[in-house]
C-alpha cells in the first residue's frame, strides 16, 4: 500500500509515496506503461471521461500511470496537493509561463536565474507583451511589483554564485499584490527546502538534476495546489505538449527513492570540500552557503536542512580556472549538476556566456569562477583531487585534457 501520508517521514515517503503494488499483476516495481492511448471500454465511459465526470487515463499526453506515480511521489515530498511532470525543466518553466501569463502582465524575477529560464522570460515573453523585471533584492522587488505583476520567479541558491533568497519574505511581497510565486527548487530539492511551506505557490524542478540523480534522464515537474496543477495540466501540458515519457518516469521513480540518502552525501561532501579550500592561496573566494562567512549563511541555516551540493570557487583568472578544470580527475567537465558523479564547469565561457560582460560582472560570474557539482564519491578523494588541481593551476602549467579515473571520467 502506498505510504503517502504527510505524517510519514521524508525517507519513507521517498520510497513509498505515489505507488503500491500494481493492481492487475501485483508487480512490486511500478510497471512502464508504454502506451499512448487507453481504451474507454464503452462509448458512455468515453463521454464521461471527456466531460470530466469520471477520472481515468485516456491519452498519455495528459496522464500516464508510470508518470502519475512519479508526480504523486514528488508531490508528497514537496508537501503539495499535486504535481505535474514535464519533458524537461524548461518544459515545466514554459508551461508555467504559457498557463499563467497573458499580454499586459508583468513578471519580476530575482536574477541570476538558470540561463534557460532567463532566456524564456526575457527573449520570448517580451515578444508576447509581457513586461519582465530583473530585480536585485527584496527592496527592489517591493518597489517593482504592482497590480499587473502576475508571477514572481525565484531560485535559491542561485546558479552559479549560490546566493540565498529569502522565500518567505519574497512571497509576502508578491502576495501583497496578488502575484503567484514560482520557486525553482532544483538546487535545494524538497529534502533541503520546501518552498510551498514558506509561502510559494509553485515549486518547479529540473528533475534532470538531483531528483533523477544519475545523469540518465531529462525531465521537469511542478508541484502546487490542486487548482493550479489542474490549470497547468489542462493548458500547459495538454495544449503545449512537453510531456514526460513513461520510460523516463520509471528512471525517475528509481532515482527519487534514494534522494535523501544522496543529498546527505552531496551536502556533506560539498561542506568538507568548501572548508578544505577556504583560505587556500590559489582561491580568491569560495561560494558555499554552508561557510559561516557566506552572506546567505544565516538565512540558509533557517531555510535549508543542509547547504546543498554545489560549490563555486573563484581562482582569479580564466587561465587559472582552465588549468584547474583541465587538471581535475574526478570531476567531469560538463554542464548539468546533481548527479552521483562529480561535475565541473566554467560558467562565464559556457552556460552563462550569452549574458554578456556587463551582466556577468554585476552577477559576480567572474572569469575565474568555476562551479563544482559535488558527487557522492568519498569526500577525501574529491578534496585530494581539488588540491592537486589547485597546485597545477598555481604552477601555471596546463595539463590539457584530464585523464579519467575509474568510471568517473
Ligand atoms: C537545468 C536547470 C533547468 C532546466 O532544466 P532542463 O531539465 O535542463 O530543461 C532549470 N532550472 C535550473 C535551476 C536548472 O539547473
Quick one: pLDDT at residue 149?
Answer: 98
Quick one: pLDDT at residue 6?
Answer: 58
Domain locations along the chain: 10-256, 259-395
3-state percent helix, strand, coil for the chain, nearest multiple of 5: 40, 15, 45
**Ligand 1 atom nearest residue 159's Cα:** 13
Number of H helices, E strands in the chain: 15, 12
Residue nearest to atom 2 of ligand 1 (CA): 206
Quick one: pLDDT at residue 400?
Answer: 55
The kind and range of the H/E element at 275 are: helix 259-277
Q: Ligand 1: distance of its center to the CA of 98 in Å? A: 17
Rounded Cα gap, residues 17 and 71, in angstroms: 10
Which residue carries 499587473 as its cell? 148
With the C-alpha atoms ordered 112, 115, 120, 122, is the resulting torsion angle positive or negative? positive
Pocket flag, ligand 1, residue 345 (CB < 6 Å): no
Query: Between the CA atoms of 287, 260, 304 and 321, what dihedral angle is there, to the nearest 10 degrees?
Result: 10
Q: Alpha carbon of 152 to those of 114, 290, 333: distances in Å?
A: 15, 26, 33
Q: Ligand 1: distance of its center to the CA of 187 in Å? A: 9
Quick one: pLDDT at residue 7?
Answer: 74
184 is catalytic: yes
Identify the CA nearest to 385 among candidates 377, 397, 210, 340: 377
- Give Cα 134 to chain centroid, integer Å: 20
105 is catalytic: no
The two beta strands, 131-135 and 369-373, are: unpaired
61 is catalytic: yes
Residue 370 near residue 312 (C-beta atoms within 8 A): yes
Cell numbers describing residue 98: 504559457
How many CA atoms does the CB half-sphere of 52 hold within 13 Å?
A: 3
Cell numbers describing residue 177: 499584490
Q: Is 38 exposed, middle or buried (0-12, 13-18, 19+ CB in 10 A)?
A: middle
373-400 burial string, b = 16+ CB within 10 Å, else e? bbbbbebeebbebbeebbebbbeeeeee
Cell numbers describing residue 120: 524564456
Query: Which listed CATH number (3.90.1150.10, 3.40.50.2000, 3.30.70.270, 3.40.309.10) goes with 259-395?
Result: 3.90.1150.10
Quick one: pLDDT at residue 148?
Answer: 98
Rounded Cα gap, residues 101 and 81, in angstroms: 22
- Residue 207 CB neighbours (<10 A): 31
250 is catalytic: no
Q: Which strands form 131-135's sheet, in the order they lie side by side? A: 82-86, 220-224, 202-206, 180-184, 149-155, 106-110, 131-135
Ranges of residues in the chain with a pLDDT under 50 are 1-4, 402-409
**Residue from 68, 82, 114, 134 carrying the catalytic annotation:** 114
Best mutation site among 187, 206, 210, 248 for ligand 1 pocket (most ligand atoms within 8 Å of CB): 206
Quick one: pLDDT at residue 402?
Answer: 46
Residue 123 per-residue DSSP state? I
- Does domain 10-256 bear CATH number 3.40.640.10? yes
Q: Ligand 1: distance of its center to the CA of 53 in Å? A: 36
Q: Alpha carbon of 135 to those of 90, 107, 282, 345, 388: distances in Å?
A: 21, 10, 33, 26, 39
> Is the pTM of the predicted complex or chain greater than 0.85?
yes
Q: Helix, strand, or coil here: 4?
A: coil
Q: Ligand 1: distance of its center to the CA of 131 in Å? A: 23
- Residue 24 CB neighbours (<10 A): 7
Beta strand ranges found along 58-210 (DSSP E): 82-86, 106-110, 131-135, 149-155, 180-184, 202-206
Query: CB-based contacts of 231: which residues, under 8 Å, 6+ apart?
Result: 99, 100
51-78 burial string, b = 16+ CB within 10 Å, else e? eeeeeebbebeebbbbbbbbbbbbbbbb
The DSSP-derived string for 310-343 is EEEEE-SSHHHHHHHHHH-SSSEE-S----SS-E
Amino acid at each position: 500500500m502506498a505510504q503517502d501520508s504527510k505524517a510519514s517521514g521524508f525517507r519513507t515517503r521517498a520510497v513509498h509515496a505515489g505507488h503500491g503494488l500494481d493492481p492487475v499483476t501485483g508487480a512490486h516495481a511500478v510497471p512502464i506503461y508504454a502506451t499512448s492511448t487507453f481504451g474507454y471500454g464503452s462509448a458512455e465511459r468515453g463521454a464521461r471521461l471527456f466531460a470530466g465526470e469520471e477520472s481515468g487515463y485516456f491519452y498519455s499526453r495528459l496522464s500516464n500511470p508510470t508518470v502519475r506515480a512519479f508526480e504523486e511521489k514528488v508531490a508528497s515530498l514537496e508537501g503539495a496537493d499535486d504535481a505535474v511532470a514535464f519533458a524537461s525543466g524548461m518544459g515545466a518553466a514554459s508551461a508555467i509561463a504559457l498557463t499563467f501569463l497573458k499580454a499586459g502582465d508583468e513578471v519580476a524575477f530575482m536574477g541570476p536565474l538558470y540561463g534557460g529560464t532567463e532566456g524564456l522570460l526575457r527573449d520570448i515573453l517580451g515578444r508576447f507583451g509581457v513586461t519582465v523585471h530583473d530585480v536585485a533584492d527584496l527592496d527592489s522587488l517591493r518597489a517593482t511589483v504592482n497590480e499587473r505583476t502576475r508571477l514572481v520567479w525565484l531560485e535559491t541558491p542561485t546558479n552559479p554564485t549560490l546566493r540565498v533568497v529569502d522565500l518567505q519574505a519574497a512571497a509576502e511581497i508578491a502576495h501583497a499584490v496578488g502575484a503567484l510565486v514560482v520557486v525553482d527548487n532544483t538546487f535545494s530539492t524538497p529534502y533541503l527546502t520546501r518552498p510551498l511551506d514558506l509561502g510559494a505557490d509553485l515549486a518547479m524542478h529540473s528533475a534532470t538534476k538531483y531528483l533523477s540523480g544519475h545523469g540518465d534522464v531529462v525531465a521537469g515537474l511542478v508541484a502546487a495546489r490542486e487548482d493550479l496543477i489542474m490549470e497547468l495540466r489542462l493548458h500547459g501540458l495538454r495544449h503545449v505538449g512537453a510531456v514526460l515519457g513513461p520510460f523516463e518516469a520509471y528512471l525517475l521513480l528509481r532515482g527519487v527513492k534514494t534522494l535523501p540518502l544522496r543529498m546527505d552525501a552531496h551536502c556533506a561532501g560539498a561542506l568538507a570540500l568548501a572548508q578544505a579550500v577556504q583560505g587556500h592561496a590559489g582561491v580568491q573566494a569560495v561560494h558555499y552557503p554552508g561557510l559561516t562567512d557566506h552572506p546567505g549563511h544565516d538565512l540558509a541555516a533557517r531555510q535549508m536542512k543542509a547547504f546543498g551540493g554545489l560549490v563555486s570557487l573563484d581562482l582569479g583568472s580564466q587561465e587559472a580556472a582552465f588549468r584547474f578544470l583541465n587538471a581535475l580527475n574526478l570531476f567531469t567537465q560538463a554542464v548539468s549538476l546533481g548527479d552521483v558523479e562529480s561535475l565541473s564547469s566554467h560558467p562565464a565561457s559556457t552556460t552563462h556566456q550569452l549574458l554578456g560582460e556587463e551582466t556577468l560582472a554585476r552577477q559576480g560570474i567572474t572569469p575565474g569562477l568555476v562551479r563544482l557539482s559535488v558527487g557522492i564519491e568519498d569526500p577525501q578523494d574529491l578534496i585530494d583531487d581539488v588540491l592537486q588541481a589547485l597546485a597545477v593551476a598555481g604552477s601555471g602549467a596546463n595539463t590539457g585534457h584530464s585523464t579519467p579515473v575509474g568510471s568517473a571520467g
